[in-house]
Amino acid sequence: MRIGVLVSGRGSNLQAIIDNIEKGKLKVDIPLVISDNPEAKALERCKRHGVPYKVIERKAFKNKREFEERMVMELEDKGVDLVVLAGFMRVLSPYFISKFPLRIINIHPSILPSFKGLDAQGQAIRYGVLFSGCTVHFVDETVDGGPIIAQAVVPVFPGESSDSLAKRILNYEHRILPQVIQWISEGRVYVKGREVKVKGATYGTIPFNPDLEQF
């Protein structure tokens, strides 16, 4: 399977994907990383690991549609089967999403549907929840609202900062994102409406349902 990874910043989730590929645990290729930010630290990671990348800045285009058309063109050109949003800080339009139906996943630093949008970790601290975590979900036309594939829960300790919570959550992001990519590449992820089942997954209580259409 060929994955295209979209990033905007630090790229630690991209790094987790690269590390798992290099260890042989994740059997996919990354023919292209796209960053909308020329300063993204993620780009240094690409250079270090020989991963092809392109910077595509929103401001280089007249409007969002043309910006997204360029990204779609590059991804299609590389024969990408799955688009992975790994810290990509822009909302994609229905146009972009329609080009990759159930073929875009995102990692979000909260237990969705709580704390959608920006600064999810700060939102969790300010709300006073005792547990938070991260979610990998399919991207649909709603912001942070598509079908949930995997989640990991972490405790929120009394008085801790948003940065400290973000670090604890990030550790789990780095585990569940590569895991979900591997599941999808093995054809084990089935989607029906909002429900996602992973054939043979070692966690979760929902039994596998063979009626579901194969992802």
Q: Which residues are catalytic, by number? A: 108
Nearest CB to ligand GAR, comparing residues 9 and 212: 9
DSSP lists the bridge partners of residue 195 as: 192
Min dist CB 209 to ligand GAR, Å, is 29
Please report, to the nearest 10 degrees, the dihedral formed by the alpha carbons of residues 212, 138, 172, 56 taken in order.
150
Nearest to 51 by CA among 37, 34, 32: 32
Nearest CB to ligand GAR, comparing residues 88 and 215: 88
Give the footprint of ligand GAR on this chain (CB under 6 A). Answer: 9-13, 86-87, 107-109, 120, 170, 173
Min dist CB 112 to ligand GAR, Å, is 10
Min dist CB 146 to ligand GAR, Å, is 12
Nearest CB to ligand GAR, comparing residues 46 and 197: 46
Please report, to the nearest 10 degrees, the dihedral formed by the alpha carbons of residues 77, 83, 85, 88 taken in order.
20
Nearest to 174 by CA among 133, 202, 215, 118: 133
